[in-house]
Structure 1
Amino acid sequence: MERGSPKFHPETAPRLGFVNARWWLFALLGLNAAWVTDLFVLGHELSAPGGMLTALGRLTGLYGALALVLQLVLISRLPWLESRLGLDRLTLWHRWTGFWVLWLLVAHVVFIVLGYAGQDGSPVLAEMGTLVFHTQDVLLATIAFVLLVAVGVTSARAARRRLRYESWHLVHLLAYLAVVLGFLHQVTVGQDFTGAPLGRLYWWTLYGAALGLVAVSRIGLPLARNLRHRLRVESVVREADDVVSLVITGHALDALPARAGQFFLWRFLTPAHWWEAHPYSLSAMPDGRRLRITVKALGDGSGWLQHVRPGTRVFAEGPYGAFTAQRRTRRRVLLIAGGVGVTPVRALLEEFARQRDDIALIYRASTADSAVLADELRRLASRCSARMFLVLGPSTGVGRFGPVLGPRHLHAMVPDVRRRDVYLCGPPGMTDAVRRTLTELAVPAEQCHTERFAFAA
């Protein structure tokens, strides 16, 4: 506890929850990897057909299946896990796990084909054709592998930048079909199924639990919440030429577990756009009666929301995100917002303002006209005596204290930054640069809370 703040008690439970959730996840992965290895060793001999190469092929296939199950868990959006780790972190881990899945399955294919080709004394390509077209359910596995490669290629950064979110998401859904096809291949061909009752029980339980989490968290829970709350657009308020705020109301919103700093995936149920899901943060603290989002027209995906009509029905999935006051460890707070990343920061400022603690706010924008919600921020800052700095200019700007938001500049605005929790939200380039600044200023990592405003990028 900081000197001079006897009434403040840091919320240590959320931080412990973050650590515990991370280590529980790692421990379960390690335990399952060990169990898969044990099942393989108990049910396989190196003297079996294909020898060492085939054994390596089957083992890498099993590890690939385990990594695929982990991917399902990471993207299931299980509330207990997501609220402690944050959807941005889980999405990043999901992305990197996906590349491990591909490499393990490539190794599986290569080792299996080489092993059987060596056993039969046949050319590699001929052996591959025999396995695919003349071995039970290997064709299903081949289709699953091709689908996963398509998902992996479209998830690469270069391809992701060229695809609309909806197109990328549609391709990504093919991964679920790949899981089912791969599982069918494993059921009919895998030695863990065909010759080991314990292995069958293990893999059925593992796949069933993972797919059950996806079904409950991604389908069941959103449907139940939307049937209960019946969301609709109440009003549309123009904030600037290309920015509007949408006020959304519904039934029993006080029972919706939403907090300032979180976001939802929004679907506005119009004939032309009902299938599009957009991740937007709340731009005001939830009050139990209304939710508010603020949207900037950044292309066809969000430009049409400028003209959405009051009364439009809304389907929302969430809330998501660990960028909340629960992560706070100190009485003093520094909020840093950039661009459209100001929306969750504005909601957080409203929550912190009610507690009347020591708050500093930095809002980074290229021009005064692009500083959306700046007037609201000033009013909230005045209400709670927070210090607010509006930093304007290009990202390469250099001033009296060196580069904008560099170490000297940030320290000049907030000299006690090391003794504050720092909440940072903005475009990826700005976020990365400010994180480097905070590291140079020796701000402890556990006091830095970041939301990258680039969902699933």
Structure 2
Amino acid sequence: MTQPFVARAAIGTFLVVNLAVIHAMFLIAGPPAHNVFGQAGRLLGLYLAFTMTVQALLVARLPLLDRAIGMDRLTGWHRWTGFAVFWLAVLHPAFVILGFARYDRVSFTATALTLSKQLPVLLGLIAVALIVLVVALSVRFARRRLSYEAWHAVHLLLYLVLVLGIVHQAYEGTAFTLNVLTRIYWWGLWAFALGALLTYRLIVPLIRNSRHRMRVAAVVPESDDVVSVHVTGRDLHLLGAKAGQFFLWRFPGHNRWWQVNPFSLSAAPNGRSLRLTAKGVGTTSAGLRDLPIGARVFAEGPYGSFTIDNRGGTATLLIAGGIGVTPIRSLLEDPNLSGDVTVLYRVRSGADAVLLGELRNLAREKGARLHVLSGRTSAANQPFTPPNLHALVPDITSRDVYVCGPAALTGAVLDSLRRLKVPARQIHAELFRLAP
């Protein structure tokens, strides 16, 4: 029984059991809802509260789920859970207000104004407004116009939403206070979710960084807009970092505390140092070349299942696009990578092929085949269509395929792999998506 299967089974069981308990609580609670609208609003409130605990667990980045499911897939779940929270947060108060309005025979607006004068209700409505704001800034149209740092800072409001939601539940959650068992269950569930969040997003990172005391050892420009940062510290082998993984990097004293970026390791960890390589596209990444030697480093991680550990066979295809070469380069260096290895590196021009010299040296040492695919994409230059990809790697269906690059490239490769009928278990993608 594989680790991903066990993890999915555990997640499914967790959801089914808790939803069953929530429905039992709803049925036992009975009144005071006076009509179908009030009843619907109360049930939606239970769904909302539970969905918020699920979101907290997804944001906690539990190591077990990260290793078994992968951070990219978990981030996708986080996104869809976020939209579920949004709709529940809108519908729950709407149905509750409508229920009271119908019962009291007054207008919806008048009822909303009356209820909002009660502090617990007001806190809940503020939480709803913050959720709407965060979701509005997360849709693709708005997201493309925000820097990663600004988007991340806005999402920190979700922690305030959690606090407001808990306070609101404490005063308004009649279904949670039916008896001792419901109280123990409900607040135990929240204690588990918040405990996981605090442990893995605050306590563990603080302990690790206090132990390892990481500092900038060297800053090496790789091109006009790409730079590598070498980081050293104490007992780095205890981090358990692997080639292909990434950290969340902060540089206290050089950047503000909320400026954080997920950068992959661009070299296989050796227990003595870590290296990240980034392209200057945001405030944090663009400022890396100005980091002083000896600057403090705060790293949260390692994260990601984009590692050789998940390889099922002995033949491997590594596909990199642009700056997505960083985890691919570290995978090629991994001592555990053996067998038949082919590397495809897609760039616009030779000048954009950062770390190419290192790739060539590693390919020579590993006996791997390296193909640099250059030129702008056009009707005559589409190396990742199914026929062209199969021509480059005829035995692609028997290989584990690792792909990392811009969204358009990664999407095209994944589509071609599906068309070529490469088994899903052999496909590994790093999409650089991350929940805040």
More displaced 10-residue stretch of structure 1: 342-351 or 24-33: 24-33
Is contact 1:49-1:119 (8 Å) kept? no
SS at match of 1:258: coil
Tell me the equivalent position of 1:405. Answer: 384
Alignment of 1:348-359 (within 5 A): 348-351=331-334, 355-359=337-341
For residue 68 of structure 1, the aligned residue among 20, 39, 52 is 52
Q: Tell me: CA distance 1:33–1:393, structure 2 relative to 1, closer, same or farther (3 Å).
A: same
The count of residues paired between Structure 1 and Structure 2 equals 436
Q: Which runs of 5+ in 1 are unaligned?
A: 1-12
2:199 aligned with 1:216, yes or no? yes
SS for the counterpart of 1:162 is coil
Distance 1:355 1:82, change over 3 A: closer
C-alpha contact (below 8 Å) 1:136/1:188 kept by paired residues: no
Verify: 1:130 aligned to 2:114, yes or no: yes
- Residue 19 of structure 2 is aligned to residue 33 of structure 1: yes
1:361 corresponds in structure 2 to 343
Alignment equivalent of 2:227, drawn from 226, 235, 244: 244
Greater mean alpha carbon deviation, residues 230-239 or residues 422-431: 230-239
Q: 1:329 — aligned with what?
A: 312
Structure 2 residue 403 is matched with structure 1 residue 424: yes
TM-score normalised per structure 1: 0.92
1:449 maps to what in 2?
A: 428
Deviation per residue, 1:108-148 (Å, 9 max, x gap): 11211111111111111111111111x45111111111111
Shift in Å, 1:347: 0.4
Distance in 1 (alpha carbons) for counterparts of 2:196 and 2:257: 25
Percent identity between the aligned chains? 47
CA contact (8 A) 1:323 1:450 kept: yes
d(CA) in 1 for partners of 2:109, 2:282: 47
User: Gaps spanning 5+ residues in structure 2: where?
Assistant: none
Q: 2:328 and 2:364 mapped to 1: Cα distance?
A: 16
Q: Cα distance, 1:162 vs. partner?
A: 1.6
| Structure 2 residue 29 is matched with structure 1 residue 43 | yes
Alpha-carbon distance between aligned partners in 2 of 1:77 and 1:356, rounded to the nearest angstrom: 30
SS at match of 2:306: coil
Q: CA RMSD in A?
A: 1.6
The answer to whether the Cα contact below 8 Å between 1:82 and 1:322 also exists between their aligned partners in 2 is yes
Corresponding residue to 2:394 among 404, 415, 424: 415
The letter of the residue matching 1:442 is K
| Partner Cα distance (1:335, 1:251) in 2 | 32
2: distance between equivalents of 1:398 and 1:427? 20
Could you tell me how far apart the structure 2 residues matched to 1:378 and 1:204 are? 56
Q: Per the alignment, in what secondary structure is the counterpart of residue 221 of structure 2?
A: strand
- Counterparts of 1:440 and 1:196, CA distance in 2: 56
Counterpart residue type for residue 323 of structure 2: V
Q: What residue in structure 2 maps to residue 152 of structure 1?
A: 135
The answer to whether the 8 Å contact 2:215/2:294 transfers is yes
Tell me which of 326, 349, 353 is aligned to 1:371.
Answer: 353
- In structure 1, the residue corresponding to 2:292 is in which secondary structure? coil
Q: Which moved more, 1:99-108 or 1:295-304?
A: 295-304
**Pairing partner for 2:371 from 389, 395, 402:** 389
Give the AA of the match of 1:311. G
2:10 corresponds to = 24
Judged with a 3 Å threshold, the aligned counterparts in structure 2 of structure 1 residues 242 and 271 are, in CA distance, closer, same or farther, namely closer
AA matched with 1:364: R
Residues 73-127 of structure 1: per-residue CA shift (max 9 Å, x gap): 0110111111211222111111110111111122211211111111111111111
Name the aligned partner's letter for residue 179 of structure 2: A
1:427 partner letter: P
**Displacement of 1:207 after TM fit?**
1.0
**Preserved CA contact (<8 Å) 2:148 2:282:** no
Cα distance, 1:167 vs structure 2: 2.1
Aligned to 2:329: 346
Matched, 1:436 2:420: no
Deviations 1:308-343 (A, max 9, x none): 121111000000111001110000000000010000
Tell me, in whole angstroms, the C-alpha distance in 2 between the residues paired with 1:117 and 1:196: 29
Deviation at 1:166, TM superposition (A): 2.2
Does structure 2 retain, via aligned residues, the 8 Å contact 1:427–1:454? Answer: no
> Secondary structure of the residue that 1:240 maps to in structure 2?
coil
- Which residue identity lines up with residue 426 of structure 2 in the other structure? Q
Between the aligned partners of 1:138 and 1:371, the Cα distance in structure 2 is 56
Give the equivalent residue in structure 1 for 2:93: 109
Asked whether 1:190 is paired with 2:173, we answer: yes
Residue deviations 1:413-435, cap 9 Å, x none? 11100000000111111000001
- Mapped partners of 1:88, 1:270: distance in 2: 30
Which residue in 2 is equivalent to 1:58?
Answer: 42
Distance (whole Å) between structure 2 residues aligned to residue 113 and residue 334 of structure 1: 57
Q: Distance in 2 between matches of 1:40 and 1:313?
A: 51
Aligned to 1:5: none
Q: CA 1:299–1:216 in 2, change beyond 3 Å: closer, same or farther?
A: closer
Tell me, yes or no, if structure 1 residue 84 matches structure 2 residue 63. Answer: no
1: CA distance, partners of 2:380 / 2:423: 26
Alpha carbons of structure 1 residues 455 and 393: separation in structure 2 relative to 1, 3 Å:
farther
* Paired position in structure 2 for 1:227: 210
Cα pair 1:362 1:389 within 8 Å, conserved = yes
| SS of residue matched to 1:67 | helix
SS state of the match for residue 354, structure 2?
coil
Q: Is the 8 A contact 1:50 1:118 kept in 2?
A: no
CA-CA distance at 1:351 after TM superposition:
1.0
**Letter of the structure 2 residue corresponding to residue 348 of structure 1:** L
TM-score scaled by length of structure 2? 0.96
Contact 1:425–1:431 (8 Å) recurs in 2: yes
- SS for the counterpart of 1:64 is helix
- How big is the shift at 1:194? 4.1
1:295 partner SS: strand
Corresponding residue of 2:362: 380
Q: Distance in 2 between matches of 1:413 and 1:222?
A: 43
What is the CA–CA distance in structure 2 between the aligned matches of 1:241 and 1:314, rounded to whole Å? Answer: 24
Residues of 2 paired with 1:429 and 1:341: CA distance? 12
Is 1:181 matched with 2:181? no
Deviation per CA, 1:244-274: give whole Å up to 9, x if none.
2111110011111100000001111234445
